[in-house]
Amino acid sequence: MLLWTAVLLFVPCVGKTAWLYLQAWPNPVFEGDALTLQCQGRKNTPLSQVKFYRDGKFLHFSKESQTLSMGAATVQSRGQYSCTGQVMYIPQIFTPTSETAMVQVQELFPPPVLSAAPSPEPREGSLVTLRCQTKLHPLRSALRLLFSFYKDSHTLQDRGPHPELCIPGVKEGDSGLYWCEVAPEGGQVQKQSPQLEVRVQAPVSRPVLTLHHGPTDPAVGDMVQLLCEAQRGSPPILYLFYLDEKIVGNHSAPCGGNASLLFPVKSEQDAGNYSCEAENGVSRERSGPKKLSLKGSQVLSTPTSSNWLVPWLPASLLGMMVIAAALLVYLRPWRKAGPLPSQIPPPAPGGEQCPLYANVHHQKEKDEGVVYFVVHRTSKRSEGQFYHLCRGEMPAAQ
C-alpha cells in the first residue's frame, strides 16, 4: 500500500515538460533547407501516439515515429513548435507535452530587383542593360546563384550565371514588361522580381495635315477641321496647329494616333497657310503647309484677263465719247475748212452728193417731228470744195 501511494504521488511531481523535448534541425535553418522536427523522450524514453503542433494548432500525428519531415523550409515555416506523446512509466502511462521550440527560417537572399540602365525609357537605337540585383546571406555566401530574364511571355535568358542582360540597339518593339528570376544552383528556392516596364522612346515621323470642309471653299460661318497625324512615334504626342507662324490650337494624344482641331470660319483672316507640329520629348517634326481659301475672296496678286478688263471698261467708254465730241466740233458748218486735198474723198460718180455724217434725234414731246442733220460735200468750179449743212424735219410717225 505504501508503494502505490508513493507512485501516485511521484507521477504528478515529475511535471509535464520534463519528459519530452522538441528539436529542429538544421540550426540555423535557411530557405530551401530540409526542415526536420524530432520529439524525444527524456533519456530516450520510448514514445507513442506522437502529435506535432505549430503555434498551438495540430500539425501531424504518428503512432510510432518520433520524427516529422517538413520538406524545404520557407519563410512561412517560421513558428513555435511543440509535441505530445505517450510515455510508459511503470506501472503508469501518461501523455506529457514538450516545451515550445521557436523555429526561425533565415532568408537565403531577398527578392531580386530588376533595373534598366541608363533608363527604363531609353531612346530608340541605344544600348539598354538589365540588372537583376540580390545578395546571398553571409552564412551562405559560397552558394552560386543563377539568373533568368523574361519579357512578357518569352524567356530571354534561362538560368545563366550573369546578373545582367544587354539589349543593343533597342527598337520600339522591345517595349514591354520585364522581370527576372533567381535560384541557387541545385536548390529549390526561386524568387522573382517585380515587373519593370520598359518603354522605348521612338522619334515622331513628319506629320501629315489634312483639311476637311465642304465640297467647295468654305465661307464665313462654315466649319473647318484640321487633322494632323504622325504615323510613328512613342506616345504621348503633343500636336500644335499653326496659321502661318501663329499657334491657333493644340491637342495631346496620350496613346498616340492623330489629333484634330475643329473651328468655325469667322472672317477672311482665317484664310491662309495652315500646318501642324508633332512633339513627344524625343523629337519634333513639322508638316508641310496647306492653304485654306475662302469662298468669294479676290486674288489680287495674279490678275486674269476677265477681271483685268472690268476696271478699264468705263475709262475706255469715256475716251470714245471724248473722241466723238471732238469730231462733232471739227465738222461744224460755221468752221471754215482748211485746204486738206489729200483728206477730201473723191466726188461720187454722176456728181451726186454723198453724206459724210448724219445725226437724227427726237425732239421734245411737244414737237411734231424729228430733227435731222446731214452733211454733204459739193463741188463748184469757181468756189472750190466746201461743206454745207442741210437741216430739215421729218414728219412724225403716225
Per-residue pLDDT at 92:
78
CA dist., res. 130 & res. 197, Å (int): 12
Looking up residue 95, the CATH number of its domain turns out to be 2.60.40.10
Q: Do 73 and 121 share a domain, yes or no?
A: no
Per-residue pLDDT at 297:
57
29-30 and 105-106 as β-strands: parallel, antiparallel, unpaired? Answer: parallel
Domain that holds residue 145: 113-198
Per-residue pLDDT at 388:
40
* Cell, residue 87: 510515455
Q: Please check whether residue 159 lies inside any domain of the structure.
A: yes
Any idea what DSSP says for residue 201?
B
Q: Do 90 and 131 share a domain, yes or no?
A: no
Number of residues in the chain: 398
Per-residue pLDDT at 330:
58
Q: How many domains does the chain have?
A: 3
Task: Tell which residue, 109, 194, 179, 196, has the closest CA to residue 145.
Answer: 109
* Cell, residue 398: 403716225
CA dist., res. 116 & res. 138, Å (int): 27
Q: Please check whether residue 203 lies inside any domain of the structure.
A: no
Residue labelled with grid coordinates 411737244: 366
CA dist., res. 76 & res. 72, Å (int): 11
Q: Please check whether residue 323 lies inside any domain of the structure.
A: no
Per-residue pLDDT at 31:
93
CA dist., res. 205 & res. 258, Å (int): 12
Q: Do 85 and 128 share a domain, yes or no?
A: no
Q: Please check whether residue 62 lies inside any domain of the structure.
A: yes
Q: Please check whether residue 194 lies inside any domain of the structure.
A: yes
Q: Do 26 and 101 share a domain, yes or no?
A: yes
Q: What is the mean pLDDT of each run of 10 residues along the chain (398 residues)?
A: 38 55 92 93 85 94 91 92 86 86 94 96 95 96 96 94 96 94 92 96 95 88 95 93 95 92 93 96 94 69 38 57 66 46 43 42 44 42 39 42
- Which of 255, 275, 292 lies at the terminal end of a domain, its last residue? 292
Are 273 and 244 in contact by the 8 Å Cβ rule? The answer is yes
Per-residue pLDDT at 320:
74
- Which of 276, 292, 308 lies at the terminal end of a domain, its last residue? 292
Task: Tell which residue, 394, 354, 349, has the closest CA to residue 370.
Answer: 394
Cα angle 54, 58, 61 (rounded to 5 degrees) comes to 110
Q: Do 192 and 219 share a domain, yes or no?
A: no
Q: Do 174 and 133 share a domain, yes or no?
A: yes
Q: Please check whether residue 360 lies inside any domain of the structure.
A: no
- Which of 198, 233, 260 lies at the terminal end of a domain, its last residue? 198
